Structures are given as structure tokens and as C-alpha cells.
Chains A and B, each alone.
Chain A
Amino acid sequence: MNDLRSEFHQQLAEIQSGIALMSAGVTELVPRATEILLTMDLEGAEYMILGDDEYDTRALELEERCFRVIALQAPVAIDLRSVISAIKIIADVERSADLCVNICKAARRIYGHDLDPHLRGVLQKIGDQAQVLFKEATEAYLNLDGVRAAALHDMDAYLDDLHRQLIQVIFESHAAGHIDLQVAVQLAVVARFYERIGDHAVNVGDRTRYIINGWLPDRPYAESDNDPPRVVAVTDPGDT
């Protein structure tokens, strides 16, 4: 088969490596965004926001290639699954790059406000975990490794826990008067961004499994996609 359609398979391989490269880039963007947020690095934030255009262009170009393959090569079976999944994975990766940019924009908005160590510690943790998820998703897709892809759901459960924990710490920090309401809201949004990056990584993992053996999730989408964060507010600091 390879001999018959070598050019076609070359095209498929190029699409896969193109996406892997983009995804590896995002794996680097996530910790960079966390660093920018925690060190209030305005210059770094600006640089990253400008750099996002490149990801958008690459995503469009890769999508275009997928369309061309479908139109001209009429792929079937695993080839069809990989092209269809590629189109969806491109969107997940591109969206994750946007989320990293959003974190940088939030960093600009809270510039000059001090964050207490506990808050910073949890932010670092959630950033690390989001990066680990994206790294696993990238490498699962790169090596078409179904086992690693399947592990992403459990890793995402921990990220969701950290998300809830971060929201809690934001409440506490605000109640203790360390951060004002504006910063608290920005940080809650940042927490959501990290949680979303994790969800995109899980999607990449799911689609990788679909490429390998046509696996589909029991539910069309991970439930964490639509559920609001389950957070119990700290007792209202009304008495203070």
C-alpha cells in the first residue's frame, strides 16, 4: 500500500508532524505564560501576544492541507480517521495557544498587584499540571500511543481539582485583603484558562485514540467541558 500511494502517505506524515510541531510549541507556551504571570513580565507578555499570529497562520495552513488530502486522495479507514482527527486537533491546539495568550493579557491587567505566596504556589502548580497534560497529549499524538492518550482523563481530573483549589485560594486571599476584587476576578478567569487548556489536551488524546482504533468516548464530550466549577465559597467575611 505504501508503495502504491507513497506521496499520499508522505502528505499524511507531514500533516502529523506539522501538528506535532505546533503542539510542542504550545507545550512550551504554557510554562512561559505561567512565568510571565508570576513575574509580571510585561515585555514577555507583549512578545507572546504578538507571536500568536504565527500559530493562527500555521493552523490555517495545516487545515488547508487536510482539506486538499480529503478532496484529492479520498482517504479511507485509518487514513480518513487521521485526517478528520487532524482537523479537530488543529483547532484544539490553536485554541490552547490563544488561551496562553489570554493568560498573558490577564498578567498585564493585574500588573503591579502583589500576590501572596500561597496563591502563587497554587498558580505554579496548576500551570505545571496544564503543561504536563499538553506534553502528554503532544507525545501521545506524535507516537500514536493510545495508552498514554487514555491516561489523560485521570490527569485532567487532578487539574480540575487544582482549579477548584485555586478558586478557593482566590476567595481566601480576597477575604484576607491580600488582593482586591479586580485581581480576584482576573485570577479566576486565569484559573479557567488553565482548566480549558487541560480539556483541549484531553480532546487531543481522545482523537488520538480515535485515529488508532476508532475509539469514541461514552459521552460525546468530556463532562468537565460544560460543568461550572464546583466550588464552595468560604464563609462570607461579612463580619469583618
Chain B
Amino acid sequence: MNIGVAIALVAGLVVGFAVAHWRTRSSAGPIEVPEPADDGEVPALLTSAVDQLEIGVVVARSTGDVVYRNAAARAFSGTHIGVLVDDHILSIMTEAETGRSTARVVELQGPPKTWLAISADPVPGGGAVVTIQDISARVRTDAMRTDFVTNISHELKTPVGAVAVLAEALHDETDPEVVRRLADHLVEEAHRAVRTIDDLLKLSQIESTRSGDSVVNLTAVVQAAIARGKSADGGRGIVISGLDTLENVWIRGDERQLESAVGNLVENAVKYSRIGGLVQVRTRVDDSAVEVMVADQGVGIPSRDLDRVFERFYRVDKARSRDTGGTGLGLSIVRHVATNHGGEVLVSSQEGEGSTFVLRLPAERVIRVEPAGEPEVTDADEPQIVHEEESRDARGGT
């Protein structure tokens, strides 16, 4: 591990130095360095250093002929993306010929969607250096940030605004029947705001604290989550089946966080299932990881939303999301719990056919796996947890 870091550092230094050197040299003019146009004379060390770069580097003559591409730029060649990128390089080169640096962003449909920033800097003696950089991560973060601000204000303002309107209506109302109905709505909207704030606080707590390192019976956590899922059924007859729960898996972790994560996954699966649908929960341990898999046959997630569902307040179906009563924070909580435990959460989904979520924790967390023998043990643990969930449900109201 340390050796790897050291190697990476050295490589970084070499590359950084080489690039800085190259840049100063090329901007200082062709005093000691051969012109990039001298095909094949670019020093081998320099080329291999530039090959290490993640960004694509293309050097071209003023005629538009490409004289050099580094490894990242060569990776595109022969693909349809390469054709499109080359076209952009050609036109951006023409602009750079006028002596100023130019840049543009190219959006590629993917899947997944990719954004490439292509910029050209003229070099003395004609020609230009073009860099190609994948800025998808930055674009996504930007979108996430702006969406978050919009969404949080929406999620908080909607119930609070409703409370205000309902209270006003209540103020002038004399009919006891209408008063009762308004009061019911008022309570419902107030609870919605409370739930959102509760989840926000829970999320920020998970974010700011490290996970505790107590011994947790993961099988019991899964059983509790299944019980919570059953209580969220709402009479729609959804079948939750726990598979491979014959053994107790003991892991190191934060019980409360894990309960919250697995519980959220199962509850989500139930919420987005069709009437009479099947939800499968499976625990699996192998040499590399311990996994809790939750699969449903519900509405599924469109592929373009798949990488965004873990964002705070992200809604796939903006119009109908409030019907399900969720706060939009459940999957963010799951992701943070997974990260806190050194693991990850994976999703695969087909719209209209269902989704599968996998909470995956590193195998180092497993203490021991033993046959459950008597499932009564887990049942004995359950009432306490179920009770907690019930009291929350009662408070949540419907």
C-alpha cells in the first residue's frame, strides 16, 4: 500500500516536472527543445511522461496535421467518439490559429453521458496544443449542487406553505366537519416537515460521525428491516422473502446506522412494488465482501437517473414522489452508511421491471458466521426494534 503511494507520488512528480518543463520550454520558444513538429524527435522521456496524463494531449501543425497524440488521446481513435473529437479538434485548431486560446465543451450521449472539455493553445512557430479533459464528474457535481438547493427549499417549503394555508382556512371555518378535515391535513403536513427534518438531521449525523465499532448481528438487522418493510406495506399484499438467512453473520459496525440503511432499502423496495409484488432480501458472505441484496419487481429506475438516485432529495418522478411519503433522503442515508463502513452501495435497475440494491461491506468487517440454529433468538431481539418502528409510524401518521 505504502509502496503504491510512493510510486504514485514519484510518478506524479516526474509528470508534473516534465509537463511544467515542457510548458515553459514551449512558451519560451524553440531555443533548446526540438519543435514539436519534428516528428519522432520529441524526447522519449517526455512522451512517456505525457502518456501518463489522464487528459488527452494532441499536438498539431498549422496545416491541421496531427503530429502527436498521447495515450489518453489515442484511446479514442477508431471509435465514433474519436471521430467527433477529431472534428472538434480541427475546428478549434482553426480558431487557435488566430493566436488566441479557445475552449469548448462537447456533450456525448453515452450512456453514461460524458462531457469533454477541449481547449487549444497556439504554440510559437505555428500549430497548437489541444487538450481533452473529461469533466463529467465536475458537471455532475455542479448539477447536484444546484439541484440540492432547489430541492431542499422545495421539500421544506411545500409542507410549511401547506400548513400556513390550512391554518388560515381553519381560522375562518365554523363547520365542525370541515374543521376536522382541515386539522387532519394540517397534522399530516406538519408530520411531513418533521420527517424531512428528522431525516436531514440523521443524515448530517451519519455524515459527521464515524461509524461505531460494536459487534452487530447482521442477520438480526436484516430481520428487523424485513419487519419494518412489512409494516410499510399498507395492505398492498407485498411478499417479502428473506433468503439465505439460515446463519447469523456477525460483523463489526454501527448497529443503528446499519439498521437505518437496510431498513431504508427494504422500505423503498416495498414502496415501489406493485400490488402483490415480491421483494427478496438476501445476505451473502464471501472472501471479499459481505452483501445485503434487496431486489424488487416494482417500477424500476430509468437508466439516466440511475447514478443520481443516491443524491439528497433527488426524485426520479418529481410529480408523483410525494404520494409515496418518502423524504427523498433514504438512499443518501444508505450511501453514507456504506461509506462510513468502508463499503459501497450498488444499484441495477430496468424501468418497469424492478431494481436491485446491494449494500456491500468489506470482508474485514466479518467477525464470524455461524448457523442460526434457533431463529427464536432473532425473534426475541425483534420486538424492541419493531416497537421503535411502530412508534415512529404512529408519530408519522397517515
Contact = CB atoms under 8 A, between A and B. Distances in A.
Interface in A111-150: 116-122, 124-125, 128, 131, 135, 138-139, 142-143
For chain A, the bracket of interface size reads: 20 to 34
A28 B88 CA distance: 15
A24 B304 contact: no
A25 interface: yes
Contact of B351 (A24, A25, A28, A121): A121
A27 B299 contact: no
Contacts of B84: 21, 24-25, 28
A62 to B, nearest CB: 14
Given A118-B352, A121-B350, A27 B304 contact: no
Given A31-B109, A31-B110, A120 B352 contact: yes
Contacts of A122: 352
B78 interface: yes
B71 to A, nearest CB: 19
B54 interface: no
A35 B109 CA distance: 9
B24 to A, nearest CB: 36
Contact of A20 (B83, B110, B299): B83
A191 to B, nearest CB: 15
A228 to B, nearest CB: 26
B80 A135 contact: yes
Interface residues of B, number: 20
A18 to B, nearest CB: 10
A173 to B, nearest CB: 10
Contact of B303 (A27, A118, A124, A139): A124
A23 interface: yes
A213 interface: no
A81 to B, nearest CB: 21
Contacts of A25: 84
B80 to A, nearest CB: 4
Contacts of B125: none
B78 A142 contact: yes
Contacts of B351: 117-118, 120-121, 124
Interface in B284-303: 299-300, 302-303
A143 B304 CA distance: 30
A143 B78 CA distance: 6
Given A32-B109, A142-B78, A121 B83 contact: no
Contacts of A179: none
A20 B79 CA distance: 10
Contact of B80 (A116, A124, A139): A139
B273 to A, nearest CB: 12
Nearest to A145: B78
A10 interface: no
A17 interface: yes
Nearest to B319: A114
Looking at chain A's contact residues, the main secondary structure is helix
Contacts of A139: 78-80
A24 B84 CA distance: 7
B111 interface: yes
Interface string B90-130: 00000000000000000011110000000000000000000
Contact of A31 (B87, B111, B299, B352): B111
A9 to B, nearest CB: 16
Contacts of B379: none
B236 to A, nearest CB: 16
A117 B353 CA distance: 8
A27 B83 CA distance: 11
Contacts of A32: 109
A121 B352 contact: yes
A75 to B, nearest CB: 24
A27 B87 CA distance: 15
Contacts of A20: 80, 83
Contacts of A143: 78
A139 B110 CA distance: 15
Contact of A23 (B80, B108, B109, B303): B80
A38 interface: yes
B20 to A, nearest CB: 35
A139 B371 CA distance: 54
Contacts of A142: 78, 80, 83
Contacts of B352: 116-122
Q: Considering residues B80, B108, B300, B303, which has the most beta carbons from chain A within 10 angstroms of its beta carbon? A: B80
B302 A124 contact: yes
Contact of B109 (A28, A38, A120, A138): A28
A117 B109 contact: no
Given A21-B87, A124-B303, A138 B353 contact: no
B353 A21 contact: no
A34 to B, nearest CB: 9
27 contacts: A20-B83, A21-B83, A24-B80, A24-B81, A24-B83, A27-B80, A28-B80, A28-B84, A28-B109, A30-B109, A32-B109, A38-B302, A38-B304, A116-B352, A117-B300, A117-B351, A117-B352, A118-B351, A120-B352, A121-B351, A122-B352, A124-B302, A124-B303, A131-B109, A139-B80, A142-B83, A143-B78
Interface of A: 17, 20-21, 23-25, 27-28, 30-32, 35, 38, 116-122, 124-125, 128, 131, 135, 138-139, 142-143
Given A27-B80, A118-B352, 11 more contacts: A17-B83, A25-B84, A31-B111, A32-B109, A121-B353, A122-B352, A124-B302, A124-B303, A139-B78, A139-B80, A142-B80
Nearest 10 A-B pairs (CB), nearest first?
A118-B352, A121-B352, A121-B351, A24-B80, A31-B109, A117-B352, A24-B83, A117-B299, A27-B80, A138-B80
